[in-house]
Structure formats: C-alpha cells, structure tokens
Amino acid sequence: MTIEGWTLILLFTALTIALAKPVGVFLFALYEGRSTPLHPVLGPVERGFYRLAGVRPDAEQSWRAYALHMLLFQLVLTVFTYALLRLQAVLPLNPRGLAAVGPDGAMNTAIAFVTNTNWQWYAGEGTLSNLSQMVALTIHNFLSAATGIAIAFALFRGFARREAGTIGNFWADCTRVTLYLLLPACVIYALFLVASGVPQTLASSIDATTLEGAKQTLILGPVASQEAIKMLGTNGGGFFNANSAHPFENPTALTNLVQMLSIFAIGSGLTWCFGKAVGNTRQGWAILAAMMVLFLTGAGIAYWQEAAGNPVLHNLGVAGGNMEGKEVRFGIAASALFSVVTTAASCGAVNAMHDSFTALGGVIPLFNMQLGEIVVGGVGAGIYGFLLFALLAVFIAGLMVGRTPEYVGKKIEAREVKLAVLAIAVLPLCILGFTAISAVLPAGLAGPLNKGPHGFTEILYAYSSGTGNNGSAFAGLTAGTPFYNGLLGIAMWIGRFFMIVPALAIAGSLAAKKYTPETAGSFPTTGPLWIGLLVAIILIVGGLTFLPGLALGPIADHLAMISGRLF
Amino acid sequence: MTTVSSMFSAKLVVPAIGDAFRKLHPRALVRNPVLFTTAVVALLLTVLLAVGGEPLPLGFQVQLIGWLWLTVLFGTFAEALAEGRGRAQAASLRATKSDLVARLPDGSTIAASALRRGDEVVVETGDLIPADGEVIAGVAAVNEAAITGESAPVIREAGGDRSAVTAGTRVISDAIRVRVTQEPGQGFLDRMIALVEGAERQKTPNEIALTILLVGLTIIFLIAVATIPSFASYAGGHIPVAVLAALLITLIPTTIAALLSAIGIAGMDRLVRFNVLAKSGRAVEAAGDVDVLLLDKTGTITIGDRQASEFRPLAGVQAGVLAQAAMLASLADETPEGRSIVVLAREGFGAAATRLPDDAEIIPFTAQTRISGVKSSAGLIRKGAVDAILRAHPEAASSAAAAELRRIAEDIARSGQTPLAVAQDGRLLGVIALKDVIKAGVRERFSELRRMGIRTVMITGDNPLTAASIAAEAGVDDFLAEATPEDKLALIRKEQQGGKLVAMCGDGTNDAPALAQADVGVAMNTGTQAAREAGNMVDLDSDPTKLIEIVGLGKQLLMTRGALTTFSVANDVAKYFAIIPAMFVVLYPGLGVLNVMKLASPESAILSAIIFNALIIPALVPLALKGVTYRPMGAGPLLARNLAVYGLGGLVAPFVGIKAIDLAVAGLNLV
C-alpha cells in the first residue's frame, strides 16, 4: 500500500461528499417540479413532450397508478428492445454485418438494460450493431436511470407528505430527470471524454500501425456518448467488452477519477435531496455517512488485500501486490477503488477484472452487491434500497426508546415492516436460490471456468450481480448459455421490480400517514449512534445471510491460497 | 418489588409447566410462527432419527433433538408463566364474582350472570352489587375494596358524577336501585379478568408488526440455510440435515419470539398491579407514544386544598386586626382552608382567642352567598370572595377602600393565589391570600417528562393570571385556564392534528367526549359510568397523578420488546461463528480458522450453540416479566444505554456463553 493509494481513496471520498449538496440541490428542484436554470431553454421541450404524449404532469398518482404506469412502461421497453435485437441483422447501421441476437440472449439483454443492470453476456463490439448499441441500449441507460430516480422521488414524497393519497406523477418525474439532469450532464460529460481521447464516431474501425510495424484493426464507434451515461446512470454496460479497462473508454487517470465520481454523483446527491425533502438535511447526511463508513471499510479491505498480493507468487519470487487482470495504467489502488465503487453503486463498469482479484479483495465487490448495492448505490435504487434497511433498523431498535418506531416523522407499522422485509428477502432468495440451482444442475456446472471455491464464487458473483442490478461480471463464467441467460434474466427482473413495487407501496402507505413531530423522546435518526446502528443492522441482517456462501466461495479460496493452493 | 424467587414460586411454576405442554398443540403454537417452525424442525429430526437416516452419532442426535424440543417448551413455558401470574391476580377477583345474586325490584332473586343490559336491581345494606351499572335512585355508601383495595367507603348516588357502581363491591349503608349497563360477560370485572389471564388476548398493532418482522427474518434465514446443501454438494460434500436444522434454529429469532407474548401479558399485568385497568393492549402501547399530557391542576399539580399564606390589610388597618378578625371568622370553618387561616393568624400574629365567644352565631358558607362568618358580641365578621363581600356591603362598594381592596386582590391573583376578602361590621379590613400548594416533587417530574419529549399542559378553572403563575411555579409547559370541557376537547383535537398523541384523565360525564377523543383517556373509578365508558383505561385508585406512571409503563413495555429483539438479532453473529466452521470444516479444513471461539469439536460447537439458544429463553424470562429498567430520560441517552446493554451485550454474551457451554459439553464428554 502506498501514500498515493490512500490519498486517492480519501480524495475520492471527500469529493463524493462534496458533490452531495450541489447535486442534491439540483435534484431537489426536480423533485419539487420547480424551475431550474435550464427551464427557459428546455421547458418548451418538456411541455411539448407532455402534449405529444397526452400527459398532465400535475395529475398526481396514487402509488398503485404510479407503479402500474412504471411497470407498463418497462414492459413496453423490454419488448421493444427484444424485438430490435432480434431484428438487428435486417436493420440499418450494422456496418459489421452482425447477425440477429438469439432469443435467450436478446431476452437477457433486454431485461439487463431495462433494469439498469447492463449485464453483458456478450462482447459488445462483436455482437451488437451500432443501431442496437445506440437505440436499443443507450436509450435504457437514460430511461432506467431516470426510472430509478423517479422511484426514489416517489418514496421521498411518501416520507415528506402528510395524509396524502398520491406520490407524484411517474411520467413527469421520468421526463424531468432525463431532460434536465441526465441529458445535459451527459452532453458535457461526453465532450469532456472526447477531449480526453474517447472516440465518438459512426465509423466502425480504424487501421493502426503498431510499433513493430504490424497492422492492427481498432474498433471504433459512438463510445463517448455511451460512456457518459454508462457511468452517470450507474448502468455499467460498456461499448467494449473490456469496459473501462479499455483505453478508448477510459484513457487517462483523470477520466478514471471522473468516471468513479460520476458513478457516485447522483446517488450521493439523492441522500441530500432526501434530507431536504423530509425537512432536515441532517437526515440525509446521516445516510451518506453510514454509506461512507461501509464504503471506506470495503475500499480499505480491497486495497489492502490487493496490495498484499498473492503469497504463492511471493514464494516464487514475484514481489509486490496483485497486478493480475489490472491495467498497468491504473495500478492497484485505482483498480481496487474502482471495483468497490462500481459494486457499491449498481454500476457494473469495471476497469480491472474482478475475477483476478485476490480472494478477499474480490469478496468486497461481491459483498457490496449482496447487500443490495445500497452503499450510495445505483441512481435511485441505492437510496430506496437503503431506506428499506433504515426502516428495518428503526423497527428493530426503535422500540428501545419506548415508543412506536418512527422514521423522519412517520410511524413504522405492520404494513411497512411487511413490505420492507419482503423487498429485502428478494436478495437472498434470488442470489442464494439461483446459485443453489446452478451449483447442482449440469447446465449450471458447465458455466464456471475455474474449479473449486473459485468456480463457485463465479456463479455466486453472477447472481449477486444480476439480482443487485449491478451488471459487472467476475469473468470466468461462461454466461452466454440459455440456462444462465434465462436464470439471470429472471434474477435481474425480480431484483429490480420486487424491490421497486414494495418501495412504492411503502411510499403510498407512508404518504397517507400523519406526521409525528420530532421531540426529545423521538428515536434519533441523525448522529453517530444511528449511523453505527444502521451499519450494524445492514451487516447483520443484510450481510450475515451470505456468510455460508462466502465461506464456501472466496473465504475458502483465500484460505487455500494461504496454504499454497490456487484455483 | 417482584423478586425473581417470587416470580418462580412453585405455585406459579408447576401449573405453568403443565400449560407449556398443552400449548404444544399445533393450533396454539401456530400463533407463534417462529416457535412453530422450531417445533416442525424438531419433529422432522425426531422422525429422521426414528428411521435412522442420519449419518451422525446417536447420542449427538438425541441431545440435539432434546434441546430443540426444550427450546419450544421454554417458549410456551414463558407464556404460560406470564399468564399464570395474571391468573393469580384474577383469581381473587373471580372469587367475588362467582356467587353474586341479584335482587329484582319485585323481590325475587336471580343469578347475577342472568342479568342483561337495562335490567334494574335493588341493592340493600350488606349486599354485593351484582353487575356494573348506574344508580337510578337513592344514595349509598359503597365499599369498593374488592376492586381498589381502598377500604374507606365511597358515596354513590343517583344523578351527577358519582352514579357508577361496579360489580362485586358491597353496599354498606342504605339501599339503591341500579340499572345494569353491561351485557353479561362484558362487565368491568370480566374485562379485567380476560386481560390479565391472556385468554382472550389479541395481539396489539406493534406486536403484529414485530411478529411480521420475526417471520420475515425466519424466511430470510430459511433461504440462507436451505441453499447450503447445494453449495456443499458443489464443494463435493454433504451436510447432515440435523446440522442444517441446528443452524436454522439458532439463526431464527427464537429468543424474542418465545418471550414476545409473555412481555405483552406481563406489561398488562404490571398495569393491573398498579390498579389501572386498560381496556385494550393498544391503549398501553399508545401510552408509550404519548407526546402531550393534559393534567388537572387540582389533585395532580397542587394538593387539593389551598393554604392561607398572607394577610394584606387595607391602608389604615393594622395587620393584627385583620388577622384576629380572619381567625374569628374561620374558627368554625372546618375546611383545610379555614384551619390554615387560623394557624397563620396564631403563628404569624399571635392572635389570642382559641375559641369562639359563647354567644357566637355561625354564618355558614352557601353556594349562593359565597360568604361565611360569625356574629357575636364582638361584632359581625364575614369573609368570602371579593366580589361577594363587596356585594354584601353595597355602601362601601364605590369607596376608595373598595378600590384598594380590588387592587390588592388582583395583585394576589397575579401571584397565583386566591384572594379572600374580610369585613367587620360593614368595614372592609383587607384580604387573605390563599395559596395553591404545589405538590412536592412535581416540578422535577415535569422536567423529567420534558427530557423524555413529553409536554405537560395544566388544565384549570382558575383565571389566566392565577393559572399562569401556578403553571410557572409548577414548571408545566403550558396551561389551559378557565377550562370548559369543550376547551379540553378542542385542545386535544388541535394537538392531534399536529400529529401528537394526547393523554388525559377525567371523571365527570362532561369529560367523556375529551376522554374518548384522547389517545389515552384514563377515567377515574369514582367517575361516572359515561366517563368510564369513554376512556380506554380506568384508574381504580382515582389518582390523576398516575397518568405519568402509566406513560412510563407503556414505554417500559415497548422498550422491553425492543431490547429483547435487538438482543436476539445481535446473538446471531456468534452463532454463525460457532456453526459455520463446524459445518464446513469437513469440506475445506482451512475454514477451521473461523472457529474463533476455539470450540472443542464440530459436534460440541453445534450442540453448544443450540443449548445456548435454548437456555437464553428461561434466562431472560425474569427480564421479560419484570420489564427492562426504565428511567425517564431523552431518547438519545436512552438509546445509547439500551444499545450498549442489549445490542453490544447481545453481540458479546453468546460468545462467552457458547464457549462456556462448550467447555462443559467437552468436559462431560457429552458428544
């Protein structure tokens, strides 16, 4: 470990915290439907869209209507994407003449992008036409991110409103987030990337002469535009298979830092926005603080393990940390940090191969996803997932102050507990359940490349990534089979919508409740005690469930490595 | 104070053991899903043992299964014990109830249990009142000791605020005619018996929510355990069902699930021991949530009687003269106020006369004149409310002396005291200040309540000046002066609209709407039937101060639940570290490093975790029944304290406990 490495991690943390308020202020304006500096320019566009679609943005929806409209929208998008992928061979903008995507693959990809997972069982440049990349996929990078933020807004309204029957309008939330936040930010972001050397072209490839004088064909495409939203919208699906390890996606140390920051930017801003929405920004800071405690712990362990390297190699005389699967350009700290950031949020972009991490270094990304990616988390998804845990923590420990548990002025009762537990139970159900199926069926056993606990980790990682809507791959797993495409597709769908619908139901239930003013007798949900409690509940309830799986996967792997055995 | 030994006395424990087995009936057990799951697992292992399907040592299996069944039994025992304690309380009540006989107006007698609502009965001296009802004719002294434990008889009469009578109490003088107000089986006594017995106990909203959480955790851990065989098969091994079962049972929240209903019953029982009857468990929970306490001034904040504190003579009148006159006017006044005037005159001014002149003629106080006094050879001395005295002396009403009298009186009122004017032979002498005496210690109570986030509002009929002064002295947060029942109701509604929960107590019929509106309405037992119907609690001692303790009991109930839930969840960490290495060490020997407690062997580790999991239930029964220690303090310090004790304690205790049990198990060669 080096000073530079730790400086990077701490600098990154400080910048993330610094972003919370400015981004949060802008998000809060969108949350309230208030005017932003962009409204004079984009306002007519917004209104034009509403007229075109016949949407009345001020028509408030009950949670049921909100959920129904959201689900129908997602369903239509899924079918549209599926159709486009199946038909890409006969559609334009297919310069490499790629064939249609198979049914299981197309289904998997459609779900992966609609759910903000961006799980990629294929190598993007060799499977998808430019049209598929730009229309079928990039569109979701925006819409799935906007949907996540819309759901977060709806849940915030549930906490903030008093005796109300509605939680906002899905179409208005989605449109505003896309139009005023994601699109403008991505234009600027993409320009920055282009300036840093990321290609943005419709040309399919370029021939380069290497130093040895050989000819090499480099694939090009509209990379910068996809790259921007891939990070900002925590989508993670890269243009290239190597993702952010590819020099055309992530050319410099600066782009690397900006990419990591852009993964956390909106998630961090949403914590502030939540605090503001419920009338006490300290509530938001407390959540961000708990997230940062979990994040720094994870980043610290990952960096420590990666820097410590592999004792088996040390014995062979190879000194230093673990550089396998890492870009020399980024080194250990930036790679370990990136891996923790991308899995803490539900991004899934990678700048190093997680499969090649040391066993315990790889545990952190895995564990982050199993917690439900609530450490800052995916845009929207992180905060609503985190709030479910907050409700649980309030309920378990809140009684200890001698009152019916309350959170930000709302009493937490049977209905909320039921829905929160239901949503949280989805994680172990899909992650452990599907891993269990895959670990015994021949079709599942055919997947992992490696043997022993490492192979097991590959399976576990895939379902953790899918259910958590992360999309990062551990590599090593041959996932492009009908078996994995199917099960992972189901895992992604359940992991997304079996969280969202209960979250919206909670929003509806909370919105209808009276507000209970905070008194000296109220359970304190700001301050170190609460932060510590939150972290403990998340680790015990959210984390311990996965201990058996982790013990048989990465932990066994690590212990084997210590005793000189590698898989 | 209940001691642990009295809690576990043989009289209670022996029947509870029998009940614990009776509660194993699936229909009873299914009400507690976590215990039900435990029983199903125990049954499954028992069957597996019988068919011999498990590749484990027989002794290990038998012990494991035994402890699983014990876990279930400890749970049902905890509930049975709590019910038993309640039942003991109820038994004495039931004794009075069983042989009640009702005398109908036509002279015939029927069993009390046959009485319906609206029936009329006659109760004479020496009779027990057969059913809850309302006096419709007559006045009687009634001994309510059976209910309240207070042996001094109380007056019950038709009309007014003291017309309610309770079944099982005895008329000790006169005869009354009573209209029955309850259907059989729904009377006061019946409800009380049902509540403490737990027979008809319904789960409260918070209990339901907690049960859902426990079921949710059970499902999550079920998923975690059910997937292990597949993981193990990938690793090329096999985990016996008994070991998986052990992991499941230690992880699911058996501790809190086993104690949950005992906590609820015990909370209710504590209230009953405190001579307060709650009509529902919901009301007790609401008491913990109360934000605003409406307290009647008289009897709660001040002692009921005012004390003379000062003589304020008019200009030109010697203080001694006023004192002497005031004393003479009060010698025949046997009220505490009158006695306090005599004491003040004697001690403050050495007023000499100790008894009235022989020819004295007493002028008694009446509600019409609002004046009392004495007429003798020494002259006519009268004392009374300022306006009443002035009215009685029209000739002086517009004089300078009258103006001064009014000024002094106002001055006294502003300082929170009540003025009483004195006149002798038509001459205004001055004013006696009667001071409301704040009860000792209430100020501290109110600041305690404030720290707990509870606002206190004093309700009084006094004018705003007096009320403000008393409020300031007593340290309440707010006051409602010249309060009418409508004002009270309006105040409660206003607070509730702001999201507050309000508690109040009351006794009169005109309090009924406010009692019904309040989230916690405590009716005084001496109050009217209407008030007792409207409130959701009844205080048998009719002590309005108890409202504060009731809030404390509500909080204690919720805290006990929270503390044991936290403890139960925190326990899981250690149990994982006991069982996971024991389970997987055969697959990957390296995983032995997770055995941080250095438990002797995999079998001993598993058995120790299960034994700890079972024994912690009876170990915590006293806590569940007594409730966690409750001290009034703000939520922050309270949470810090309880988290340290039950959160950290819950984390550490099983590490120590499992290790100790493991030493014993290994030492005794049990596996």
> pLDDT tens-digit profile of B577-595?
999 999 999 888 888 888 9
* Residue B583 with chain A: CB contacts under 8 Å: 548
Per the CB < 8 Å rule, is A421 touching B217?
Answer: yes
Query: What pLDDT, on a 0 to 100 scale, did the predictor assign at position B1?
Result: 40
What are the tens digits of pLDDT across the range B206-235? 899 999 999 999 999 999 999 999 999 998
Interface test with A, best of B212, B270, B448, B595 (most A CBs within 10 A): B212
Separation of alpha carbons B668 and A198, rounded Å: 71
Per the CB < 8 Å rule, is B499 touching A516?
Answer: yes
Q: Which entry of B296, B436, B519, B662 is annotated as an active-site residue?
A: B296
Is B473 annotated to bind ligand? no
Which of A453, A522, A556 is facing B635, going by the closest CB pair?
Answer: A522
Which of B452, B572, B646 is facing A521, going by the closest CB pair?
Answer: B452
* Residue A536 with chain B: CB contacts under 8 Å: 570, 647
CB A362 within 8 A of CB A553: no
CB B605 within 8 A of CB B655: no
B87, B309, B113: which is closest to B198 by C-alpha?
B87
Is B269 annotated to bind ligand? no
* Residue A445 with chain B: CB contacts under 8 Å: 234
Residue A161 has pLDDT above 90, yes or no: yes
* Buried b or exposed e, range A485-495, using 16+ CB within 10 angstroms: bebbbbbbbbb
Is B333 annotated to bind ligand? yes
Query: How far A504 CA sits from the closest chain B CA (Å)?
Result: 19
pTM: 0.86
Q: How confident is the model at residue B95 (pLDDT cuts 50, 70, 90)?
A: low
Per the CB < 8 Å rule, is A555 touching B500?
Answer: no
Per residue, the 3-state secondary structure of B25-86, as one string, reads: CHHHHCCCHHHHHHHHHHHHHHHHHHHCCCCCCHHHHHHHHHHHHHHHHHHHHHHHHHHHHH
* Residue A563 with chain B: CB contacts under 8 Å: 590
Phi and psi, residue B265, nearest 5°: -65, -45
Mean pLDDT check: name the lowest of A535-544, B502-511, B611-620, B648-657: B502-511
Mean pLDDT of A498-518: 94
Is A439 inside a domain boundary? no
For residue A524, the chain B residue with the least C-alpha distance is B636
Mean pLDDT of A493-498: 95
Is A488 inside a domain boundary? no
CB A391 within 8 A of CB A507: no
B110, B98, B111, B102: which is closest to B177 by C-alpha?
B102
Token pair 């066993």 is found at A359
| More confident position, A563 or B185 | A563
| Local structure of B340: helix, strand or coil | helix
Which strand (E) or helix (H) includes residue B144?
none
Query: How far A159 CA sits from the closest chain B CA (Å)?
Result: 14
A213, A315, A261: which is closest to A564 by C-alpha?
A315
Query: What pLDDT, on a 0 to 100 scale, did the predictor assign at position B172?
Result: 82
Query: What pLDDT, on a 0 to 100 scale, did the predictor assign at position B148?
Result: 64
Tell me, what amino acid is at A226? Q
What are the tens digits of pLDDT across the range B475-509? 899 999 888 878 888 999 999 988 889 999 877 77
Is A428 inside a domain boundary? no
Which of A400, A527, A544 is facing B562, going by the closest CB pair?
Answer: A400
Per the CB < 8 Å rule, is A396 touching B233?
Answer: no
Per the CB < 8 Å rule, is A400 touching B233?
Answer: no
Separation of alpha carbons B187 and B167, rounded Å: 8
Query: What pLDDT, on a 0 to 100 scale, did the predictor assign at position B98?
Result: 60
Is B367 annotated to bind ligand? yes
Is A187 inside a domain boundary? yes
B416, B420, B401: which is closest to B341 by C-alpha?
B420
* Residue B206 with chain A: CB contacts under 8 Å: 399, 404, 413
Which of A519, A548, A559 is facing B231, going by the closest CB pair?
Answer: A548
Helix, strand, coil percent values for chain B (each to nearest 5): 55, 15, 25
Mean pLDDT of B96-100: 63
* Residue A453 with chain B: CB contacts under 8 Å: 235, 588
Per the CB < 8 Å rule, is A544 touching B572?
Answer: yes
Q: Percentage of residues in chain A with pLDDT exceeding 70? A: 100
Per the CB < 8 Å rule, is B561 touching A399?
Answer: yes
Per the CB < 8 Å rule, is B559 touching A404?
Answer: no
Strand partners, B539: B276, B524
Query: What pLDDT, on a 0 to 100 scale, did the predictor assign at position B567?
Result: 94
Mean pLDDT check: name the lowest of A117-126, A213-222, A345-354, B639-648: A117-126
Which one-letter DSSP state was computed for residue B540? T
Per the CB < 8 Å rule, is B205 touching A403?
Answer: no
Is A32 inside a domain boundary? yes
Per the CB < 8 Å rule, is B642 touching A400?
Answer: yes
* Buried b or exposed e, range A430-452, using 16+ CB within 10 angstroms: bbbbbbbbbbeeeebeebbebeb
Alpha carbon distances (Å) from A312 to A307, A335, A567, B482:
14, 21, 12, 87
Is B365 annotated to bind ligand? yes
Query: How far A440 CA sits from the closest chain B CA (Å)?
Result: 6
For residue A551, the chain B residue with the least C-alpha distance is B591
* Residue B449 with chain A: CB contacts under 8 Å: none
Query: How far A459 CA sits from the closest chain B CA (Å)?
Result: 11
Is B372 annotated to bind ligand? yes
State yes or no: is B296 an active-site residue: yes
Query: What pLDDT, on a 0 to 100 scale, did the predictor assign at position A40?
Result: 92
* Buried b or exposed e, range B117-129, using 16+ CB within 10 angstroms: eebebbbeeebbb
Per the CB < 8 Å rule, is A456 touching B576?
Answer: no
What are the tens digits of pLDDT across the range B461-477? 777 888 888 899 888 99
Separation of alpha carbons B501 and B555, rounded Å: 14
Distance from the Cα of residue A255 to its chain's centroid: 19
Which of B224, B291, B562 is facing A545, going by the closest CB pair?
Answer: B224
A351, A303, A357, A300: which is closest to A329 by C-alpha?
A351
* Residue B638 with chain A: CB contacts under 8 Å: 400-402
Which of A432, A517, A520 is facing B635, going by the closest CB pair?
Answer: A520
For residue A440, the chain B residue with the least C-alpha distance is B230
Residue A321 has pLDDT above 90, yes or no: no
Number of domains in chain A: 1
For residue A525, the chain B residue with the least C-alpha distance is B636
Per the CB < 8 Å rule, is A396 touching B230?
Answer: no
Mean pLDDT check: name the lowest of A135-139, A198-202, B176-180, B238-242: A135-139
Residue A310 has pLDDT above 70, yes or no: yes
* Residue A515 with chain B: CB contacts under 8 Å: 499
Q: How confident is the model at residue A542 (pLDDT cuts 50, 70, 90)?
A: confident
B498, B639, B58: which is closest to A525 by C-alpha?
B639
Query: What pLDDT, on a 0 to 100 scale, did the predictor assign at position B94?
Result: 63
| More confident position, B400 or A51 | A51
Is B371 annotated to bind ligand? yes
Query: What pLDDT, on a 0 to 100 scale, did the predictor assign at position B2?
Result: 46
* Residue A422 with chain B: CB contacts under 8 Å: 216
Per the CB < 8 Å rule, is B588 touching A400?
Answer: no
Separation of alpha carbons B80 and B67, rounded Å: 19
Query: How far A410 CA sits from the closest chain B CA (Å)?
Result: 10
Is B144 annotated to bind ligand? no
Is A347 inside a domain boundary? no
Q: Percentage of residues in chain B with pLDDT exceeding 70? A: 92
Helices then strands (H, E): number in chain B? 25, 22
Per the CB < 8 Å rule, is B639 touching A521?
Answer: no
Is B274 annotated to bind ligand? no
Q: How confident is the model at residue B243 (pLDDT cuts 50, 70, 90)?
A: very high
Mean pLDDT of A262-275: 96
| Domain interval for residue A195 | 27-208+223-254
Interface test with B, best of A395, A400, A441 (most B CBs within 10 A): A400
Which one-letter DSSP state was computed for residue B395? G
* Chain A with chain B: Cβ pairs closer than 8 A: 219
Is A70 inside a domain boundary? yes
Query: How far B455 CA sits from the closest chain A CA (Å)?
Result: 9
Is A107 inside a domain boundary? yes
Per the CB < 8 Å rule, is A396 touching B563?
Answer: no
